Chain A
Amino acid sequence: MTEPLMQLTKVNVTLTNHAILHDVSCTIERGQITTIIGPNGAGKSTLVKVIVGLETATTGRIDYPQGKLRVGYMPQSLFVDQSMPIKVGRFLSLVGKQKPTHAEREHALTLVDMLHVLDKPLHALSGGEFQRVLLARAILQKPDLMVLDEPMQGVDINGQAKLYKLIAKLRDSLNCAVVMVSHDLHLVMAQTDNVLCLNGHICCHGQPKNVSRHPEYLKLFGAQVSENLAVYAHNHDHHHTPQGDVVNCSDECDHHHD
Protein backbone atom coordinates (compact mmCIF):
# COMPACT_ATOMS: atom_id res chain seq x y z
CA MET A 1 0.00 0.00 0.00
CA THR A 2 1.47 3.33 -1.04
CA GLU A 3 1.31 6.35 1.14
CA PRO A 4 -1.55 8.75 0.49
CA LEU A 5 -0.92 12.07 -1.28
CA MET A 6 -2.85 14.01 1.27
CA GLN A 7 -4.35 13.31 4.61
CA LEU A 8 -6.93 15.43 6.39
CA THR A 9 -7.35 14.77 10.10
CA LYS A 10 -10.28 16.22 12.02
CA VAL A 11 -10.41 19.37 9.95
CA ASN A 12 -12.78 22.06 11.20
CA VAL A 13 -13.57 25.24 9.37
CA THR A 14 -15.45 28.01 11.13
CA LEU A 15 -16.24 31.18 9.24
CA THR A 16 -17.59 34.16 11.19
CA ASN A 17 -18.74 31.97 14.08
CA HIS A 18 -20.49 29.63 11.72
CA ALA A 19 -19.20 26.07 11.60
CA ILE A 20 -18.92 25.02 7.95
CA LEU A 21 -16.92 21.83 8.29
CA HIS A 22 -16.89 19.66 11.35
CA ASP A 23 -14.24 17.01 12.05
CA VAL A 24 -13.64 16.06 8.45
CA SER A 25 -11.05 13.33 8.00
CA CYS A 26 -10.16 11.73 4.71
CA THR A 27 -7.23 10.55 2.64
CA ILE A 28 -6.50 11.18 -0.99
CA GLU A 29 -4.55 8.57 -2.88
CA ARG A 30 -2.85 8.57 -6.25
CA GLY A 31 -4.90 6.95 -8.98
CA GLN A 32 -8.18 7.30 -7.13
CA ILE A 33 -11.21 9.37 -7.95
CA THR A 34 -13.01 10.75 -4.95
CA THR A 35 -16.38 12.33 -5.45
CA ILE A 36 -17.80 14.66 -2.86
CA ILE A 37 -21.57 14.73 -2.82
CA GLY A 38 -24.02 16.44 -0.55
CA PRO A 39 -26.88 18.92 -0.37
CA ASN A 40 -26.59 22.66 -0.85
CA GLY A 41 -24.67 24.35 1.92
CA ALA A 42 -23.06 21.08 3.00
CA GLY A 43 -19.60 22.62 2.76
CA LYS A 44 -18.52 20.87 -0.44
CA SER A 45 -16.89 23.93 -1.91
CA THR A 46 -15.28 24.81 1.40
CA LEU A 47 -13.76 21.35 1.63
CA VAL A 48 -12.44 21.75 -1.91
CA LYS A 49 -10.94 25.11 -0.96
CA VAL A 50 -9.23 23.53 2.03
CA ILE A 51 -7.82 20.81 -0.23
CA VAL A 52 -6.39 23.28 -2.76
CA GLY A 53 -5.19 25.64 -0.04
CA LEU A 54 -7.53 28.58 -0.62
CA GLU A 55 -9.08 28.15 2.81
CA THR A 56 -7.18 27.39 5.98
CA ALA A 57 -8.51 24.89 8.48
CA THR A 58 -9.55 26.52 11.75
CA THR A 59 -8.42 23.40 13.59
CA GLY A 60 -7.19 20.00 12.47
CA ARG A 61 -4.25 18.71 10.49
CA ILE A 62 -3.43 18.41 6.84
CA ASP A 63 -0.47 16.21 5.95
CA TYR A 64 1.29 15.62 2.68
CA PRO A 65 3.14 12.31 3.23
CA GLN A 66 4.69 12.47 -0.24
CA GLY A 67 5.70 16.10 -0.06
CA LYS A 68 4.19 19.16 -1.65
CA LEU A 69 1.66 18.48 -4.37
CA ARG A 70 1.18 19.98 -7.78
CA VAL A 71 -2.50 20.79 -7.92
CA GLY A 72 -4.56 21.22 -11.06
CA TYR A 73 -7.61 23.17 -9.99
CA MET A 74 -10.80 23.74 -11.91
CA PRO A 75 -12.96 26.26 -10.04
CA GLN A 76 -16.71 26.08 -9.82
CA SER A 77 -17.16 29.06 -12.03
CA LEU A 78 -14.82 31.11 -14.10
CA PHE A 79 -15.99 34.10 -16.04
CA VAL A 80 -13.32 35.86 -18.01
CA ASP A 81 -14.58 39.40 -18.36
CA GLN A 82 -15.96 40.07 -21.84
CA SER A 83 -13.74 43.13 -22.05
CA MET A 84 -10.60 41.00 -22.33
CA PRO A 85 -9.95 39.64 -25.81
CA ILE A 86 -8.15 36.33 -25.49
CA LYS A 87 -7.79 33.17 -27.54
CA VAL A 88 -7.86 29.68 -26.07
CA GLY A 89 -4.16 29.13 -26.82
CA ARG A 90 -3.13 32.29 -24.98
CA PHE A 91 -5.46 31.43 -22.11
CA LEU A 92 -3.68 28.09 -21.77
CA SER A 93 -0.28 29.78 -21.74
CA LEU A 94 -1.23 31.57 -18.52
CA VAL A 95 -0.93 28.47 -16.38
CA GLY A 96 1.33 28.04 -13.38
CA LYS A 97 4.67 29.65 -12.73
CA GLN A 98 6.31 28.46 -15.93
CA LYS A 99 4.69 29.18 -19.26
CA PRO A 100 3.75 25.89 -20.99
CA THR A 101 5.24 25.37 -24.43
CA HIS A 102 3.14 25.37 -27.56
CA ALA A 103 3.53 21.60 -27.86
CA GLU A 104 2.36 21.10 -24.28
CA ARG A 105 -0.70 23.23 -24.91
CA GLU A 106 -1.58 21.30 -28.05
CA HIS A 107 -1.08 18.02 -26.23
CA ALA A 108 -3.37 19.06 -23.37
CA LEU A 109 -6.06 20.17 -25.79
CA THR A 110 -5.72 16.90 -27.69
CA LEU A 111 -6.27 14.96 -24.48
CA VAL A 112 -9.61 16.68 -23.94
CA ASP A 113 -10.47 16.46 -27.64
CA MET A 114 -10.51 20.20 -28.14
CA LEU A 115 -7.53 20.88 -30.41
CA HIS A 116 -9.77 22.60 -32.94
CA VAL A 117 -10.51 25.52 -30.59
CA LEU A 118 -6.85 26.49 -30.12
CA ASP A 119 -7.21 29.71 -32.11
CA LYS A 120 -10.79 30.48 -31.18
CA PRO A 121 -11.66 33.42 -28.92
CA LEU A 122 -12.38 32.15 -25.42
CA HIS A 123 -15.73 33.91 -25.34
CA ALA A 124 -16.94 32.02 -28.41
CA LEU A 125 -16.88 28.63 -26.63
CA SER A 126 -19.99 26.84 -25.47
CA GLY A 127 -20.38 25.81 -21.84
CA GLY A 128 -19.23 22.25 -22.45
CA GLU A 129 -16.29 23.32 -24.60
CA PHE A 130 -15.21 25.79 -21.95
CA GLN A 131 -15.28 23.13 -19.22
CA ARG A 132 -13.02 20.96 -21.37
CA VAL A 133 -10.62 23.83 -21.92
CA LEU A 134 -10.54 24.35 -18.16
CA LEU A 135 -9.75 20.68 -17.81
CA ALA A 136 -6.90 21.09 -20.31
CA ARG A 137 -5.70 23.96 -18.13
CA ALA A 138 -5.63 21.69 -15.09
CA ILE A 139 -3.73 19.06 -17.11
CA LEU A 140 -1.06 21.62 -18.01
CA GLN A 141 -0.20 21.89 -14.33
CA LYS A 142 1.12 18.29 -14.59
CA PRO A 143 -0.87 17.65 -11.45
CA ASP A 144 -0.41 15.08 -8.71
CA LEU A 145 -3.92 16.00 -7.71
CA MET A 146 -6.73 17.31 -9.89
CA VAL A 147 -9.48 19.11 -8.02
CA LEU A 148 -12.64 19.76 -9.98
CA ASP A 149 -15.39 21.80 -8.35
CA GLU A 150 -18.64 20.86 -10.09
CA PRO A 151 -17.05 20.16 -13.47
CA MET A 152 -20.43 19.38 -15.00
CA GLN A 153 -21.82 22.90 -14.82
CA GLY A 154 -23.26 24.03 -18.10
CA VAL A 155 -22.76 20.61 -19.68
CA ASP A 156 -25.72 18.69 -21.01
CA ILE A 157 -26.54 15.18 -19.88
CA ASN A 158 -24.79 13.39 -22.73
CA GLY A 159 -21.79 15.67 -22.43
CA GLN A 160 -21.65 14.89 -18.73
CA ALA A 161 -21.29 11.19 -19.35
CA LYS A 162 -18.48 11.87 -21.82
CA LEU A 163 -16.78 14.24 -19.42
CA TYR A 164 -16.91 11.68 -16.60
CA LYS A 165 -15.34 9.12 -18.91
CA LEU A 166 -12.66 11.61 -19.89
CA ILE A 167 -11.82 12.37 -16.27
CA ALA A 168 -11.42 8.67 -15.56
CA LYS A 169 -9.13 8.35 -18.59
CA LEU A 170 -7.05 11.32 -17.43
CA ARG A 171 -6.67 9.83 -13.99
CA ASP A 172 -5.00 6.84 -15.65
CA SER A 173 -2.85 8.70 -18.16
CA LEU A 174 -1.67 11.34 -15.69
CA ASN A 175 -1.52 8.90 -12.79
CA CYS A 176 -2.93 11.49 -10.45
CA ALA A 177 -5.59 11.64 -7.79
CA VAL A 178 -8.90 13.26 -8.66
CA VAL A 179 -11.21 14.99 -6.23
CA MET A 180 -14.43 16.33 -7.63
CA VAL A 181 -17.65 17.77 -6.40
CA SER A 182 -20.88 16.56 -7.80
CA HIS A 183 -24.00 18.45 -7.03
CA ASP A 184 -26.18 15.54 -7.87
CA LEU A 185 -26.64 13.10 -5.02
CA HIS A 186 -27.57 10.23 -7.29
CA LEU A 187 -25.46 10.66 -10.37
CA VAL A 188 -22.08 9.26 -9.52
CA MET A 189 -19.94 7.54 -12.04
CA ALA A 190 -19.03 3.89 -11.89
CA GLN A 191 -15.33 4.81 -12.15
CA THR A 192 -15.52 6.78 -8.94
CA ASP A 193 -13.41 4.91 -6.44
CA ASN A 194 -14.61 6.75 -3.41
CA VAL A 195 -17.72 8.61 -2.51
CA LEU A 196 -17.69 11.10 0.27
CA CYS A 197 -21.09 12.19 1.44
CA LEU A 198 -20.81 15.52 3.17
CA ASN A 199 -23.23 17.50 5.25
CA GLY A 200 -21.05 19.66 7.45
CA HIS A 201 -19.45 16.46 8.66
CA ILE A 202 -18.80 13.31 6.66
CA CYS A 203 -22.05 11.38 6.73
CA CYS A 204 -20.60 8.33 5.12
CA HIS A 205 -17.96 7.37 2.66
CA GLY A 206 -16.96 4.30 0.76
CA GLN A 207 -16.69 2.57 -2.56
CA PRO A 208 -19.71 2.69 -4.78
CA LYS A 209 -19.17 -1.02 -5.43
CA ASN A 210 -22.46 -2.17 -4.10
CA VAL A 211 -24.18 0.42 -6.11
CA SER A 212 -27.40 -0.69 -7.58
CA ARG A 213 -28.42 0.30 -11.05
CA HIS A 214 -31.38 2.54 -10.97
CA PRO A 215 -33.89 1.75 -13.74
CA GLU A 216 -34.71 5.43 -14.16
CA TYR A 217 -31.15 6.21 -15.19
CA LEU A 218 -30.96 3.22 -17.51
CA LYS A 219 -34.04 4.52 -19.19
CA LEU A 220 -32.68 8.04 -19.37
CA PHE A 221 -29.24 7.36 -20.77
CA GLY A 222 -29.54 4.06 -22.56
CA ALA A 223 -27.39 0.99 -22.00
CA GLN A 224 -24.12 2.27 -23.42
CA VAL A 225 -23.90 5.44 -21.43
CA SER A 226 -25.22 3.82 -18.33
CA GLU A 227 -22.09 1.69 -18.14
CA ASN A 228 -20.43 4.80 -16.92
CA LEU A 229 -23.23 5.88 -14.71
CA ALA A 230 -24.32 4.31 -11.55
CA VAL A 231 -26.27 5.14 -8.52
CA TYR A 232 -24.56 5.38 -5.23
CA ALA A 233 -27.35 3.95 -3.20
CA HIS A 234 -26.92 4.61 0.44
CA ASN A 235 -28.98 4.80 3.52
CA HIS A 236 -28.11 6.78 6.53
CA ASP A 237 -28.04 5.43 10.02
CA HIS A 238 -28.91 8.89 11.20
CA HIS A 239 -31.03 11.80 10.20
CA HIS A 240 -30.48 15.51 10.22
CA THR A 241 -32.54 18.10 11.95
CA PRO A 242 -33.18 21.18 9.82
CA GLN A 243 -30.14 22.74 11.55
CA GLY A 244 -27.95 19.90 10.32
CA ASP A 245 -27.50 18.24 13.69
CA VAL A 246 -27.23 14.48 13.71
CA VAL A 247 -30.10 12.47 15.07
CA ASN A 248 -29.52 8.76 15.39
CA CYS A 249 -32.16 6.34 14.32
CA SER A 250 -32.37 2.63 14.89
CA ASP A 251 -34.15 0.57 12.32
CA GLU A 252 -34.62 2.28 8.97
CA CYS A 253 -30.91 2.95 8.48
CA ASP A 254 -28.86 -0.10 7.82
CA HIS A 255 -25.32 0.66 6.96
CA HIS A 256 -22.25 1.63 8.80
CA HIS A 257 -20.69 4.95 9.11
CA ASP A 258 -18.50 7.36 10.94
Chain B
Amino acid sequence: MIELLLLPLLVGCLVALISAPLGAFVMWNRLVYFGDTLAHSALLGVAFALLFSLTPSVGIALSCIVIAVLLWLLQKRSRLANDSLLGIISHSSLALGLVCVSLMADTRIDLHAYLFGDLLTVTMHDAATIAAIAVIIFIGVGLTWRGLLMMTIDQHLAQVEGVQVERLRLLLMVFIALLIGIAMKVVGILLITALLIIPAASARKVTRSPEAMVIVAALIALSSVCLGLAASYFFDTPPGASIVLSGTCFFITTQCLAKR
Protein backbone atom coordinates (compact mmCIF):
# COMPACT_ATOMS: atom_id res chain seq x y z
CA MET B 1 0.00 0.00 0.00
CA ILE B 2 2.72 2.40 0.97
CA GLU B 3 4.51 2.02 -2.38
CA LEU B 4 1.31 3.21 -4.08
CA LEU B 5 1.96 6.52 -2.36
CA LEU B 6 5.48 6.82 -3.70
CA LEU B 7 4.64 8.18 -7.14
CA PRO B 8 2.02 10.64 -5.81
CA LEU B 9 4.54 11.81 -3.23
CA LEU B 10 7.21 12.33 -5.86
CA VAL B 11 4.87 14.25 -8.16
CA GLY B 12 3.50 16.30 -5.28
CA CYS B 13 6.99 17.28 -4.14
CA LEU B 14 8.03 18.24 -7.66
CA VAL B 15 5.02 20.52 -8.08
CA ALA B 16 5.56 21.96 -4.59
CA LEU B 17 9.18 22.82 -5.42
CA ILE B 18 8.21 24.65 -8.61
CA SER B 19 5.24 26.44 -7.08
CA ALA B 20 7.44 28.14 -4.45
CA PRO B 21 9.30 30.60 -6.71
CA LEU B 22 6.29 31.22 -8.93
CA GLY B 23 4.06 31.66 -5.89
CA ALA B 24 6.46 34.30 -4.61
CA PHE B 25 6.30 36.19 -7.90
CA VAL B 26 2.53 35.88 -7.98
CA MET B 27 2.43 37.46 -4.53
CA TRP B 28 5.01 40.18 -5.19
CA ASN B 29 3.39 41.18 -8.47
CA ARG B 30 -0.14 40.93 -7.09
CA LEU B 31 -1.11 38.33 -9.63
CA VAL B 32 -3.23 36.23 -7.27
CA TYR B 33 -6.42 36.92 -9.13
CA PHE B 34 -4.67 36.42 -12.43
CA GLY B 35 -3.54 32.96 -11.31
CA ASP B 36 -7.08 32.21 -10.23
CA THR B 37 -8.40 33.22 -13.64
CA LEU B 38 -5.94 30.94 -15.39
CA ALA B 39 -6.80 28.09 -13.06
CA HIS B 40 -10.51 28.48 -13.71
CA SER B 41 -9.93 28.39 -17.42
CA ALA B 42 -8.13 25.06 -16.98
CA LEU B 43 -11.36 23.11 -17.37
CA LEU B 44 -11.52 24.38 -20.94
CA GLY B 45 -8.10 22.85 -21.35
CA VAL B 46 -9.45 19.53 -20.11
CA ALA B 47 -12.15 19.60 -22.78
CA PHE B 48 -9.46 20.59 -25.25
CA ALA B 49 -7.28 17.66 -24.24
CA LEU B 50 -10.16 15.21 -24.55
CA LEU B 51 -11.05 16.51 -27.99
CA PHE B 52 -7.51 16.10 -29.34
CA SER B 53 -6.64 13.18 -27.04
CA LEU B 54 -3.72 14.96 -25.34
CA THR B 55 -2.47 14.44 -21.81
CA PRO B 56 -4.68 16.66 -19.62
CA SER B 57 -1.63 18.51 -18.24
CA VAL B 58 -0.56 19.49 -21.74
CA GLY B 59 -4.08 20.49 -22.77
CA ILE B 60 -4.46 22.65 -19.68
CA ALA B 61 -1.04 24.23 -20.07
CA LEU B 62 -1.82 25.08 -23.69
CA SER B 63 -5.21 26.61 -22.95
CA CYS B 64 -3.78 28.55 -20.00
CA ILE B 65 -1.02 29.90 -22.23
CA VAL B 66 -3.65 31.07 -24.73
CA ILE B 67 -5.58 32.86 -21.96
CA ALA B 68 -2.35 34.27 -20.51
CA VAL B 69 -1.27 35.71 -23.85
CA LEU B 70 -4.75 37.11 -24.35
CA LEU B 71 -4.61 38.84 -20.96
CA TRP B 72 -1.09 40.06 -21.65
CA LEU B 73 -2.23 41.63 -24.92
CA LEU B 74 -5.27 43.22 -23.27
CA GLN B 75 -3.09 44.56 -20.48
CA LYS B 76 -0.67 46.04 -22.99
CA ARG B 77 -3.36 47.63 -25.12
CA SER B 78 -5.47 49.19 -22.45
CA ARG B 79 -6.22 49.25 -18.79
CA LEU B 80 -8.99 46.73 -19.29
CA ALA B 81 -7.32 44.00 -17.30
CA ASN B 82 -8.74 45.05 -13.98
CA ASP B 83 -10.49 42.94 -11.37
CA SER B 84 -13.76 42.96 -13.24
CA LEU B 85 -12.27 41.80 -16.51
CA LEU B 86 -10.38 39.03 -14.76
CA GLY B 87 -13.56 38.07 -12.94
CA ILE B 88 -15.52 37.92 -16.18
CA ILE B 89 -12.92 35.82 -17.98
CA SER B 90 -12.36 33.64 -14.94
CA HIS B 91 -15.94 32.56 -14.43
CA SER B 92 -16.96 32.61 -18.08
CA SER B 93 -14.16 30.22 -18.93
CA LEU B 94 -15.05 27.98 -16.00
CA ALA B 95 -18.67 27.91 -17.17
CA LEU B 96 -17.63 27.31 -20.77
CA GLY B 97 -15.36 24.50 -19.61
CA LEU B 98 -18.20 22.86 -17.67
CA VAL B 99 -20.52 23.10 -20.69
CA CYS B 100 -17.89 21.74 -23.09
CA VAL B 101 -17.09 18.83 -20.81
CA SER B 102 -20.78 17.98 -20.33
CA LEU B 103 -21.35 18.05 -24.10
CA MET B 104 -18.78 15.29 -24.43
CA ALA B 105 -21.11 12.99 -22.57
CA ASP B 106 -19.86 9.90 -24.34
CA THR B 107 -16.38 10.30 -22.88
CA ARG B 108 -17.14 9.76 -19.23
CA ILE B 109 -14.89 11.97 -17.17
CA ASP B 110 -14.60 12.49 -13.47
CA LEU B 111 -15.20 16.21 -13.03
CA HIS B 112 -14.47 15.89 -9.35
CA ALA B 113 -10.92 14.76 -10.12
CA TYR B 114 -10.22 17.90 -12.15
CA LEU B 115 -11.80 20.30 -9.71
CA PHE B 116 -10.23 18.88 -6.56
CA GLY B 117 -7.17 16.98 -7.74
CA ASP B 118 -6.49 13.33 -8.25
CA LEU B 119 -2.99 12.80 -6.96
CA LEU B 120 -3.49 9.18 -5.91
CA THR B 121 -4.25 7.97 -9.43
CA VAL B 122 -1.19 9.58 -11.02
CA THR B 123 0.42 7.33 -13.64
CA MET B 124 4.02 7.00 -14.78
CA HIS B 125 3.07 8.81 -17.97
CA ASP B 126 1.56 11.71 -16.01
CA ALA B 127 4.63 11.82 -13.82
CA ALA B 128 6.95 12.02 -16.81
CA THR B 129 4.98 14.91 -18.37
CA ILE B 130 4.85 16.75 -15.06
CA ALA B 131 8.59 16.25 -14.50
CA ALA B 132 9.41 17.56 -17.99
CA ILE B 133 7.28 20.69 -17.53
CA ALA B 134 8.70 21.24 -14.04
CA VAL B 135 12.26 21.14 -15.39
CA ILE B 136 11.37 23.67 -18.11
CA ILE B 137 9.91 26.07 -15.53
CA PHE B 138 12.81 25.57 -13.14
CA ILE B 139 15.45 26.35 -15.78
CA GLY B 140 13.41 29.24 -17.18
CA VAL B 141 12.94 30.93 -13.80
CA GLY B 142 16.58 30.29 -12.90
CA LEU B 143 17.85 31.97 -16.05
CA THR B 144 15.62 35.03 -15.75
CA TRP B 145 15.70 35.34 -11.95
CA ARG B 146 17.53 38.67 -11.72
CA GLY B 147 15.47 40.29 -14.46
CA LEU B 148 12.25 39.03 -12.91
CA LEU B 149 13.24 40.53 -9.56
CA MET B 150 14.13 43.87 -11.15
CA MET B 151 10.84 43.91 -13.04
CA THR B 152 8.98 43.10 -9.84
CA ILE B 153 10.62 45.95 -7.96
CA ASP B 154 9.81 48.53 -10.61
CA GLN B 155 9.09 47.85 -14.23
CA HIS B 156 9.95 51.34 -15.49
CA LEU B 157 13.26 51.35 -13.68
CA ALA B 158 14.05 47.89 -15.03
CA GLN B 159 13.14 49.02 -18.53
CA VAL B 160 15.42 52.06 -18.37
CA GLU B 161 18.21 49.77 -17.18
CA GLY B 162 17.84 47.50 -20.17
CA VAL B 163 15.58 44.71 -18.91
CA GLN B 164 13.15 43.41 -21.54
CA VAL B 165 10.16 43.94 -19.28
CA GLU B 166 7.32 43.05 -21.65
CA ARG B 167 8.99 39.84 -22.74
CA LEU B 168 9.69 38.84 -19.14
CA ARG B 169 6.14 39.54 -18.05
CA LEU B 170 4.83 37.30 -20.82
CA LEU B 171 7.34 34.63 -19.84
CA LEU B 172 6.23 34.77 -16.20
CA MET B 173 2.61 34.36 -17.29
CA VAL B 174 3.55 31.38 -19.43
CA PHE B 175 5.40 29.81 -16.50
CA ILE B 176 2.34 30.25 -14.31
CA ALA B 177 0.17 28.73 -17.03
CA LEU B 178 2.50 25.74 -17.29
CA LEU B 179 2.50 25.30 -13.52
CA ILE B 180 -1.29 25.32 -13.42
CA GLY B 181 -1.23 22.56 -16.02
CA ILE B 182 0.77 20.30 -13.74
CA ALA B 183 -0.62 21.44 -10.39
CA MET B 184 -4.15 20.53 -11.45
CA LYS B 185 -3.31 16.87 -10.90
CA VAL B 186 -2.12 17.56 -7.36
CA VAL B 187 -4.69 19.89 -5.81
CA GLY B 188 -7.23 20.45 -8.55
CA ILE B 189 -8.37 23.56 -10.41
CA LEU B 190 -10.16 25.15 -7.48
CA LEU B 191 -7.24 24.88 -5.07
CA ILE B 192 -4.25 25.75 -7.29
CA THR B 193 -3.99 29.35 -6.12
CA ALA B 194 -3.72 28.10 -2.56
CA LEU B 195 -0.70 26.01 -3.48
CA LEU B 196 0.90 29.12 -5.02
CA ILE B 197 0.10 31.61 -2.30
CA ILE B 198 0.04 29.85 1.04
CA PRO B 199 3.68 28.65 1.16
CA ALA B 200 4.96 32.03 -0.11
CA ALA B 201 2.82 33.97 2.34
CA SER B 202 3.92 31.70 5.20
CA ALA B 203 7.57 32.29 4.34
CA ARG B 204 7.24 36.08 4.08
CA LYS B 205 7.21 36.85 7.79
CA VAL B 206 10.19 34.71 8.71
CA THR B 207 12.63 35.68 5.95
CA ARG B 208 14.62 38.75 5.00
CA SER B 209 15.56 38.26 1.37
CA PRO B 210 13.66 37.20 -1.75
CA GLU B 211 15.82 34.09 -2.17
CA ALA B 212 15.34 33.02 1.45
CA MET B 213 11.61 33.52 1.06
CA VAL B 214 11.53 31.20 -1.95
CA ILE B 215 13.63 28.53 -0.23
CA VAL B 216 11.51 28.58 2.93
CA ALA B 217 8.35 28.58 0.79
CA ALA B 218 9.65 25.51 -1.03
CA LEU B 219 10.35 23.72 2.26
CA ILE B 220 6.89 24.59 3.55
CA ALA B 221 5.28 23.41 0.31
CA LEU B 222 7.24 20.14 0.44
CA SER B 223 6.23 19.56 4.06
CA SER B 224 2.61 20.35 3.21
CA VAL B 225 2.61 17.72 0.47
CA CYS B 226 4.12 15.10 2.79
CA LEU B 227 1.77 15.95 5.67
CA GLY B 228 -1.26 16.16 3.39
CA LEU B 229 -0.54 12.80 1.81
CA ALA B 230 0.05 11.21 5.20
CA ALA B 231 -3.25 12.60 6.46
CA SER B 232 -4.95 11.35 3.35
CA TYR B 233 -3.46 7.88 3.94
CA PHE B 234 -4.33 7.62 7.61
CA PHE B 235 -7.69 9.40 7.71
CA ASP B 236 -8.82 8.76 4.16
CA THR B 237 -9.30 12.46 3.43
CA PRO B 238 -8.99 13.92 -0.10
CA PRO B 239 -5.24 14.47 -0.73
CA GLY B 240 -5.52 17.85 -2.51
CA ALA B 241 -7.55 19.46 0.25
CA SER B 242 -5.35 17.86 2.92
CA ILE B 243 -2.23 19.33 1.30
CA VAL B 244 -3.78 22.81 1.21
CA LEU B 245 -4.91 22.54 4.83
CA SER B 246 -1.42 21.47 5.93
CA GLY B 247 -0.15 24.61 4.23
CA THR B 248 -2.71 26.66 6.12
CA CYS B 249 -1.37 25.22 9.39
CA PHE B 250 2.14 26.32 8.42
CA PHE B 251 0.80 29.77 7.57
CA ILE B 252 -0.82 30.15 10.98
CA THR B 253 2.35 28.88 12.67
CA THR B 254 4.70 31.32 10.95
CA GLN B 255 2.31 34.20 11.60
CA CYS B 256 2.43 33.39 15.31
CA LEU B 257 6.22 32.91 15.27
CA ALA B 258 6.82 36.26 13.60
CA LYS B 259 4.72 38.16 16.12
CA ARG B 260 7.20 37.46 18.92
A, B in one complex: yes
Q: Using a CB–CB distance below 8 Å, which chain A residues touch chain B?
A: 52-54, 71, 73, 75, 78, 80-81, 83-87, 90-91, 94-97, 99, 121, 141
Decide: A52 and B160 in contact? CB cutoff 8 A: yes
Complex: A163 Cα to B161 Cα, angstroms: 23
- Stretch binding the partner chain, chosen from B120-128, B166-174, B204-212: B204-212
Q: Using a CB–CB distance below 8 Å, which chain B residues touch chain A?
A: 24, 27-30, 146, 149-150, 152-154, 156-157, 159-162, 200-201, 204, 207-210, 212-213
* Chain A residues, CB < 8 A from B161: 73, 95-97, 141
Min C-beta distance of A131 to chain B, whole Å: 14
Q: Give the residue of B157, B160, B208 whose beta carbon is less than 8 angstroms from that of A85.
A: B208
* Chain A residues, CB < 8 A from B162: 96-97
Decide: B204 and A83 in contact? CB cutoff 8 A: yes
* Chain A residues, CB < 8 A from B201: 83
Tell me the total A-B contact number using a CB cutoff of 8 A.
Answer: 62
Decide: A90 and B153 in contact? CB cutoff 8 A: no
Q: Give the residue of A73, A75, A85, A121 whose beta carbon is less than 8 angstroms from that of B213.
A: A85
Complex: A78 Cα to B154 Cα, angstroms: 7
| Interface SS of A by simple majority | loop
A-B residue pairs in contact (CB < 8 Å), sample of 23: A52-B160, A54-B156, A54-B160, A73-B157, A73-B160, A73-B161, A78-B154, A80-B153, A81-B28, A81-B29, A81-B152, A83-B200, A84-B213, A85-B204, A85-B208, A85-B209, A86-B209, A87-B208, A90-B209, A91-B153, A94-B149, A97-B162, A141-B161
Q: A75-B154, A99-B146 are in contact. Are A86 and B160 (CB under 8 A)?
A: no
* Chain B residues, CB < 8 A from A80: 153-154
Given contacts A85-B204, A97-B161, 15 further A-B contacts (CB under 8 A): A52-B160, A53-B160, A73-B160, A80-B153, A81-B29, A81-B30, A83-B28, A83-B204, A84-B213, A85-B207, A85-B208, A85-B213, A86-B208, A90-B210, A95-B161
* Chain B residues, CB < 8 A from A91: 153
Min C-beta distance of B203 to chain A, whole Å: 9
Q: Give the residue of A83, A84, A94 whose beta carbon is less than 8 angstroms from that of B146.
A: A94
Min C-beta distance of A64 to chain B, whole Å: 15
Complex: A97 Cα to B164 Cα, angstroms: 11
Complex: A20 Cα to B161 Cα, angstroms: 25
Decide: B208 and A121 in contact? CB cutoff 8 A: yes
* Chain A residues, CB < 8 A from B149: 94
Complex: A46 Cα to B157 Cα, angstroms: 15
Min C-beta distance of B253 to chain A, whole Å: 18
* Chain A residues, CB < 8 A from B204: 83, 85
Decide: B152 and A54 in contact? CB cutoff 8 A: no
Complex: A236 Cα to B126 Cα, angstroms: 74
Q: Max chain B CB contacts within 10 Å: which of A78, A83, A95, A99? A: A83
* Chain B residues, CB < 8 A from A71: 160
Decide: B27 and A75 in contact? CB cutoff 8 A: no
